[in-house]
Amino acid sequence: MNALPDRDRSLAGPAETATALVVVTPMVQAGQAADSAAAANVFVRYRQRLGKATRDRHAADLACFTDYLYLAGIEAGELLLDPLAWAGMSWGLVAGFIEWQLQQGYAIGSVNVRLSTVKLYCQLALQAEVLDDGAYARIKVVKGIRHKAGVAIDKERTTTRRSTKKAESLVLTRDQVQRLKQQPVTPQGCRDALLMCLLLDHGLRCGEVVGLQVEHLDLQAGTLRFYREKVDLEQTHRLSPATHRAARAYLAVAGAPGSGQLLRGSRKNSELWGGMDKRAVNKRVALLGAAVGVPRLSPHDCRHTWATIAVRNGSDLKRVQDGGGWKSPHMPLRYAQRAEIANEGIRLDDQGEIPW
């Protein structure tokens, strides 16, 4: 039998191709190079699509995972950016991460979130062909801790919450809210009054407050236009009367910004300067809270208060969802505390019975 030309080898039968040589064409070479480049960039491309808050959380989660591996005698590579750092990852290591966190006293919610992050990056490693299907399939079935099991675990642990966050957010009283919004008439005091109004009357997140620019305020129209990075959404709020007054007073004081970042930092002598970052906002809110008898007050507590009061006062849930910048109606319900009387506000007939 005559030998087949190279271009016809793919058409030959099994007997004819048994000894055929593999032909490496330019297309094959280009495809292999493209696959290698794409695999190396899987993590980078994925992270480019994330918001800053999510990227920061993933970095913190994987830093904790790296600590666990180091204590287990494993020198991990750059888990956040390098797919090859995940080579050899197994379900036993992932499952062991859960147990290690429980021993360290981390909150059940934090344990579950970190597990989700680790599994997500294992999936990316699979896409980059660093993990094989079998290894990923076993990692995928590692489950987090359900609520009922978490309660039982916490009863047996001496340390049940290793975190700087409070176990539960608080809801401020009407008097506390008013006192926080009423600050001295100084450059620093006017800035503080506007800060607290933005947090308490509009439910803005800490990062959203930091990102506000003077140009976002329209005092004539009484509106605030701003960007919610966490949900990639631009919104306009109608200023509450207190926020409107505070904004006018703040922009009228000496040293107030004419453009650029809205909330400026302040020195001990009350002069305004620079700009406030998240750390400065958290620190200032905690200080103002302590002054009205609320220790460790945070911007999140103010947002929690805003959502809770809105729901308790009968606001439409869809309106609360939109006003708070949530993508799901389940989120505002998580922030709204349960009423002391569970069926408070349920409308039946005048006697509270079903009108048959």
325 in the Ramachandran plot: left (φ > 0), alpha (ψ -120 to 50) or beta? left
Torsion of CA 324, 330, 333, 334, to 10 degrees: -90
According to the 3-state scheme, what is the secondary structure of the chain? Answer: CCCCCHHHHHHCCHHHHCCCCCCCCHHHHHHHHHHHHHHHCHHHHHHHCCCHHHHHHHHHHHHHHHHHHHHCCCCCCCCCCCHHHHCCCCHHHHHHHHHHHHHHCCCHHHHHHHHHHHHHHHHHHHHCCCCCHHHHHHHHCCCCCCHHHHHHHHHHCCCCCCCCCCCCCCCCCHHHHHHHHCCCCCHHHHHHHHHHHHHHHHCCCHHHHHCCEHHHEECCCCEEEEEEHHHCEEEEEECCHHHHHHHHHHHHCCCCCCCCECCCEECCCCCEECCCCHHHHHHHHHHHHHHCCCCCCCHHHHHHHHHHHHHHCCCCHHHHHHHHCCCCCHHHHHHCCCCCCCCCCCCCCCCCCCCC
- Classify residue 356 by burial, with Cβ atoms within 10 Å: 0-12, 13-18, 19+: exposed
Overall size of the chain counted in residues: 356
| Res 12: pLDDT | 45
CA–CA distances in Å: residue 124 to residues 19, 76, 96, 320? 38, 17, 20, 36
| Res 52: pLDDT | 83
pTM beyond cutoff 0.75: no
| Res 34: pLDDT | 63
pLDDT tens by residue, the chain, 356 residues: 444 444 444 444 544 444 555 676 777 666 666 666 666 688 888 988 888 888 889 999 999 999 999 888 998 888 998 888 999 999 999 999 999 999 888 989 899 999 999 999 999 999 988 999 999 999 999 999 998 888 888 888 866 555 545 556 688 999 999 999 999 999 999 999 999 999 999 999 999 999 999 999 999 999 999 999 888 889 999 999 999 999 999 999 988 899 999 999 987 666 788 889 999 999 999 999 999 999 999 999 999 999 888 888 888 888 889 999 988 877 777 765 555 555 555 556 555 555 54
| Res 10: pLDDT | 44
